[in-house]
Structure 1
Amino acid sequence: MTEHYLAVDIGASSGRVLAGEVQNGKITIQELHRFENRLIQKDKQLCWDIEHLFNEIKQGIHKSKQAGMSPASIGIDTWAVDFVLLDENDELLTDAVAYRDRRTDGMMEEVFQLIGKKELYERTGIQFQKFNTIFQLYSLKKNHPELLKRAKTFLMIPDYLNFLLTGKKANEYTNATTTQLMKADEQNWDQSLLKNLGINVEMFQEIKSPKSILGQLRPELQEEFGFDLEVILPATHDTGSAVAAVPEEEDTIYISSGTWSLIGVENQFPITKQNSYVSNFTNEGGVEGTYRFLKNIMGLWMIQEVRRNYQKKYSFSELVQMAKEASHFTSIVNVNDDRYLLPHHMIEEIRNECRETKQAIPITPGEVARTVFMSLAESYKQAVEEIEAITGRRFSKINVIGGGSQNEYLNQLIANVTQKEVYAGPIEATAIGNLSLQLMALKKVNNLLEARQMIRRSFAIQTYISMEGRDMK
C-alpha cells in the first residue's frame, strides 16, 4: 500500500490540505480539501478565525480517510508574523490578530526610541515592516499590558495549530525568525532585546528546526480520525517551505509569488551590512542551516483587490488579456508603499499615486491591470539589482514558484525587464516543499539536494526569455 503524507498550506485568502506520495522516484500530489481563509472583525480588530482554520484541517484529515488513505504524517505551514498568547490554563488569551490590522501604526517609531533602528537590524537581520511581530507585541504592551503580564505561552499561527493537534508547544525556527526577536546568527531568542522592550521572555518556547517530529495526535483526535499520524514541522513559514522546493537552486534568484512576492537567494550566513540595511532586505531562517536573504514585495494582493473592486466581473485571465491589450500604457506605481497594504479602494489608490507623480491615470480595467503587472515587474528588477550589488554575485536565472508562476504574462514581463531567463514552477511549491521536509524527517529522502532533484523530475517547469520590444499579445 502506498504511503501518503499530508501537507496543510494556509495562505492569507485560502487553505488546502494536499496528499503526497512517492512513486518511481517522483512526488505526486492531489488536493483533498480546499477552504476559505478570511479576516473577521472582532472587538474592533481584524482577526483570523483560528477555530475555523483548525476545523478545516480536521476536515482535510477526514477526507484523506474517505479517500482510502492512512497517512503517515502531516505538516502545517502558514503565513508569518502573526501569533496568539495562551494563559496558565492553555486557553486563548488573545485573538489571532492579523498583520493587516492597524494596531501597529506608529509602533515601529516608538520601538526605535528604545533600540536604534540600525542596531535592531544588525541584531536580528530582519526587514522592517510595520506589522512585524515585534511591533505587534509592543502594541500589546502599550495598550493591553495586563494581557502580556498574564501570558504564559507565545505561539505563532502554525505553532498553535500544531498545539491543537498534539498538545505540544514549540516555536518553529523559520517562522520564529520573522518576529524580529531572534539573533540573526543564532537559532535562539534575543533575550536582552526582549527584556529591553519589557516583553516577558518566559512565554517563548523552545525553537525547533524544520524536519523535527513534534509528536503524535492527541488521544481524542486519534479516536475521531480512527488512526494516528506523526505531526512533523516543515518550514512552517510558507515561504520557507516554498523555497525548499526551488528546483533551479544554483545561481538562481527565486520569487515566491502569491498574495505577497518574496524575492531573494539562499545564503549560508546572514547579511546585515550597511547596504542590505539601507535596501531593507531580510535574513529569514531557511532549511538545513541556510538563510533566505530576500525582500518582501506587495505581490498579487494588488490584482486580487483590483478584481474585487470590479465586483469580480472579470476573471484573472481576463484581466491579464486586457493588460496585454493595453501594452501602450506605461504608468508605474510603488507597490511597496503602505498605501497598498489595506486600501479602502485599490484602484483609486493606484490612480491617486499616478496623479501625484504626474503620470497617465489608468482608466480602463486593462490599463489598471497593466499598471499593476508592470509595477510588480519593475519592483522585481530593482530587487534583483540590489541583490546582485549586495552579494557581489551575478545571477543568470530567476525561478518563479507558487501560484503566481501560472501568470505567463507577468513571467514574460519579468524576463523582459530583468534580461534574465525565467523559470516558472512548481505551482504548488509550498505544499511540495512541506511534503519534502516531511520525507526528510522520516528518512525517505536524505537531504535537501536530493529532494530538489526529485522535485525537478516530478513537475513541469516553463522557461521564458526576454522578448523586449516584441509584441506580447
Structure 2
Amino acid sequence: MGSYQALAFDFGASTGRAVLGTLADGKLTRREVYRFDNTPVELDGTLYWDIDALLAGVREGMARAETFDSLAFDTWGVDFGLLDAEGRLLAPPVHYRDRRTAGLIPRVTDKVGTNRLYQLTGNQIMEINTLFQLVALQAQPALLRRAKTLLFMPDLLAYLISGAAVCEQSIASTSQLLDPAGKDWCHALLDELSLPADILPPVIPSGSITATLPGGAKVIAVAGHDTQSAVAAAPLQSDRAAFLSCGTWSLLGTELDRPVLTAESAALGLSNELGANGKVNYLKNIVGLWLLQESRRQWQREGKDYSFAALEQLATYAPPFRCFIDPDDALFTSPGDMPGRVRAYCRETGQYVPQTVGEVVRCIYESLALKYRLALGQLEAVTDKRFDTLHIIGGGAQAALLCRMTASSCAIPVHAGPVEATALGNLLVQFVALGALPDIAAGRGLIAACEPVQLYQPEQPTAWQQAYTTFVHHLQKRS
C-alpha cells in the first residue's frame, strides 16, 4: 500500500495550524507541527484578516513539516481577496465581521426577491455572505475595476504559495453566488446586480490537484470550507444521522443527494452547501462557541483568566433553566462585552438576569442546546427525515457539558468526536486525491476505527421539554 504524508492547514477564526498526517499500513496518524495566531487588524475603520501573518505561518508550518507528498488549506467561508491583472493582492481580505455589509440585505432582496434569491443560490440569506460583500464593494468602483480575479480564503492561500488561481466548489457554495444544482456561478444573478462575473474563476471539484511545488509536493484543493472538511471526516453510518460541526460557528445539518430550494426552506433559513463527496450538506448556520470565546475575552480584559475547562466547571454548578438567549440575535454579532449583552438580552425579555460567570456560561450552553433542537426539528420538517443520532464534530466535541445538554435537548444520542474532524477531513481528501484511499466513505471508515468518540444519552426529558417551550416563547416574544 505504501506510505503517504499530507500536510493540512486548518484556519479558524483565531488560530491557524499545520497538521501532518501519515497514512501507512491502513492506519492514519497525525501530529500538529505548528500553531499560530490569526488576529484580525483594523485599518482606517475596516476590519481585515492579516494575510501577511497568515502566509508567514503557512511557510513556517511547511518548514517544520519538512517532508510531505501534498498540502491543502481549509478556512471559514465567504471571505476573499482580489487580485489585479499582474496577480497581486489589491488589499488585505476584509473580515466577515466588518460592518460594511450592514443593512444591504433589503437592497438586494427588493431588487431580486427573497424567495428568488434563495431559489437561485440555496444559501441562508446572511449579510456576511460574499454576495453582499461584493455589493458593498460597488461603493469602491476604482477597486472593482482593478480587480481581475476573486479568490476565496483557502484558494488565496494556496495561490500565494503555488501561483495557481482556482475556485473549489465547497468554499464557492458559501458565497450566495453559486447555483448549487448546476455547481456553477449564477450568471443571471450577477448580471441582475451588475456584479463582475469575469473575476470569478471556474469552479473545480473538491480533491482536485492544482499545482506541484518545487520538490514534488502536490497542492490539492480539498473541501476548502472548514465545515465541509469536518463533515468529510464525520463517521456518519446512516441516512438518519445528523451532524453538528461545532466551533466558533455551529453548523447543524444532514447529507442530501440534491438541494432543497423551496420557499419553506428559505423561510426557515436553511442552507445548501456542497460537500467533499459530491453530496449537498443541507444545514443551519447558528452562532456557536463565539459566544463563549468572546465572553472569555471579556473576562480576561477584566483580569479574570478562566480556562474553558474552568468555565464549564462553573456552569455545571449553576442552577439550570433560569434564562435563555437566542444565539443568533443581532446583539451578539460583534466583538465586545458578551456577558453584558447576555444580561441585557435577559433583562429585555423579562427573564432572570444571570449574575455570576457560571450562570452566564450555563445560559449560553443551554441556549445553544435548545437552538440545536429547534434547527433539528426544522430539518426534519423539510426533509421528512427522523434523526436518531447526532454526531458532534470539531472543538465543541470536547465540551462534555454542552454535548450532554444537546443529547438531552434533542432527545437523541450524541456521538461526540472526532475533535480534530476538520484537519482529518482535509487529510482524507488529500489521501483520496493521491490515490492512497479509494473514496471519502473509506476514509470515514478509517476514522471510525481510529478516532475516539464519546457517547452521550438523553437525560431529564420532562425538564428539557419544559425548557424548550420556554425558550421558543422567548424567541417569539423577541421577534
Report if aligned partners of 2:326, 2:367 keep a CA contact under 8 Å in 1. Answer: yes
Distance 2:189 2:462 in 1: 53
Distance 1:12 1:151 in 2: 26
Match of 1:341 in 2: 333
Distance 2:72 2:412 in 1: 34
Match of 1:446 in 2: 438
Matches within 5 A, 1:48-197: 48-65=49-66, 70-141=67-138, 143-197=139-193
TM superposition shift of 1:7: 0.5
Match of 1:350 in 2: 342
Question: 1:379 pairs with 371, 375, 379, which one?
Answer: 371
**What TM-score results when the alignment is normalised by the length of structure 1?**
0.95
Match of 1:270 in 2: 259
* Aligned residue pairs, count: 459
The Cα offsets for residues 278-323 of structure 1, whole Å up to 9 and x where unpaired, read as 1100001112321110011100000011111111521111111111
Report if aligned partners of 1:166, 1:215 keep a CA contact under 8 Å in 2. Answer: yes
> Which stretch shows the higher mean deviation, 357-366 or 179-188?
179-188
Question: What SS does the corresponding residue of 1:317 show, helix, strand or coil?
Answer: helix
Match of 1:389 in 2: 381
Match of 1:19 in 2: 20
Report if aligned partners of 1:79, 1:237 keep a CA contact under 8 Å in 2. Answer: yes
- Label 1:128 to 1:3 Cα distance change in 2 as closer, same or farther (>3 A): same
Report if aligned partners of 2:320, 2:362 keep a CA contact under 8 Å in 1. Answer: no
Question: What SS does the corresponding residue of 2:201 show, helix, strand or coil?
Answer: coil
Match of 2:41 in 1: 40
Question: What SS does the corresponding residue of 1:97 show, helix, strand or coil?
Answer: coil
Distance 1:85 1:207 in 2: 17
Distance 1:278 1:148 in 2: 32
Residue type of the alignment partner of 1:361:
V
Question: What SS does the corresponding residue of 1:90 show, helix, strand or coil?
Answer: coil
Question: 1:366 pairs with 358, 361, 370, which one?
Answer: 358
Distance 2:135 2:463 in 1: 51
Percent of pairs with identical residues = 39
**RMSD of the alignment, in Å?**
1.5
Residue type of the alignment partner of 2:378:
E
Residue type of the alignment partner of 1:454:
L
**What TM-score results when the alignment is normalised by the length of structure 2?**
0.94
The Cα offsets for residues 380-405 of structure 1, whole Å up to 9 and x where unpaired, read as 01001111111001010000000110
Report if aligned partners of 1:26, 1:457 keep a CA contact under 8 Å in 2. Answer: no
Question: 1:248 pairs with 218, 236, 240, which one?
Answer: 236
Question: 1:456 pairs with 425, 448, 452, which one?
Answer: 448
Report if aligned partners of 2:242, 2:390 keep a CA contact under 8 Å in 1. Answer: yes
Distance 2:131 2:255 in 1: 24
Match of 1:5 in 2: 6
Residue type of the alignment partner of 2:223:
A
Tell whether 2:458 aligns with 1:466: yes
TM superposition shift of 1:91: 1.2
Match of 2:472 in 1: none
Question: What SS does the corresponding residue of 1:38 show, helix, strand or coil?
Answer: coil
Question: What SS does the corresponding residue of 2:185 show, helix, strand or coil?
Answer: coil
Distance 1:92 1:167 in 2: 12
Report if aligned partners of 2:272, 2:283 keep a CA contact under 8 Å in 1. Answer: yes
Distance 1:211 1:131 in 2: 26
Residue type of the alignment partner of 1:128:
I
Question: What SS does the corresponding residue of 2:86 show, helix, strand or coil?
Answer: coil
Distance 2:254 2:162 in 1: 34
Report if aligned partners of 2:294, 2:336 keep a CA contact under 8 Å in 1. Answer: no
Tell whether 2:300 aligns with 1:304: no
Report if aligned partners of 1:245, 1:433 keep a CA contact under 8 Å in 2. Answer: yes
Report if aligned partners of 1:411, 1:464 keep a CA contact under 8 Å in 2. Answer: yes
Instruction: Give structure 1 regions of 4+ aligned residues with deviation exceeding 3 angstroms.
Output: 469-472
Question: What SS does the corresponding residue of 1:310 show, helix, strand or coil?
Answer: helix
Residue type of the alignment partner of 1:177:
S
Residue type of the alignment partner of 2:5:
H
Report if aligned partners of 1:158, 1:236 keep a CA contact under 8 Å in 2. Answer: yes
TM superposition shift of 1:274: 2.2
Structure 2 spans left out of the alignment, 5+ residues: 465-479
Match of 2:470 in 1: none
Question: What SS does the corresponding residue of 1:4 show, helix, strand or coil?
Answer: strand
